[in-house]
Amino acid sequence: MLKNKSRSTKGLLFAFAFILTAFTGVSTITVPAMASNSPRTVAAVDREVWQSETGKCYHSKNDCGSMNPAKATKIKESQAKAKGLKKCKKCWK
Q: Where are the domains of the chain?
A: 2-43, 48-87
Tally of CB atoms within 10 A around 60:
17
Residue count of the chain, please give it.
93
Contact 48, 75 (CB under 8 A): yes
- Please tell me the pTM assigned to this model: 0.51
Would you state the pLDDT for residue 11? 72
3-state secondary structure of 91: coil
pLDDT at 12 over 80: no
Would you state the pLDDT for residue 54? 83
| pLDDT tens digits along 69-88 | 999 999 999 999 999 999 99
Query: What percent of the chain clears pLDDT 70, i.e. is strictly above it?
Result: 55
pLDDT at 30 over 70: no
pLDDT at 32 over 80: no
